Amino acid sequence: MRGLGLMKEKAYFLEGRGLFRRAKLIWHNISLDKRFSEYERDLAMASIKRLSNIISGKVCKQRKKLSMHPDRYKNIEADRERVLQLFRTGLTPKEIQEITHRSRAFIYNCKKSSSTCK
């Protein structure tokens, strides 16, 4: 049973780190191993279901976030000009990010490309 304890500990550690798919794989291995009791395998199956729900919830959130700004890749030049204009008014990158819903990397790239052109 020592192997079971280590496997469970590692699965909980991975869950704590947010690595749900890796933890789910360990729970899956526990659920298939015939050396462990029926109770332990049922516990593993319950953990698999719980992690599956968490993973699907994260995927839905990401899809929803992407669908909120479907035209993000269509207006790159217009957004770049807007970011530069906001920089000229004295706003910080974080404030610009909140206004434009663009990533910090995009905002810093706009700033960097404008400074090399001058």
Torsion over CA: 75, 77, 80, 84 (sign) = negative
- The C-alpha atoms of residue 18 and residue 52 are separated, in whole angstroms, by 13
Decide if pLDDT at 29 tops 90: yes
Residue 26 has pLDDT above 70, yes or no: yes
Mean pLDDT across the stretch 13-38? 93
Given this model, what pLDDT does residue 69 score? 65
Query: Region 42-68: what's the mean pLDDT?
Result: 87
**Is the overall model pTM greater than 0.75, yes or no?**
no
DSSP for 6-66, written as a single string: HHHHHHHHHHHHT-HHHHHHHHHHHHH-TTS-HHHHHHHHHHHHHHHHHHHHHHHHHHHHH
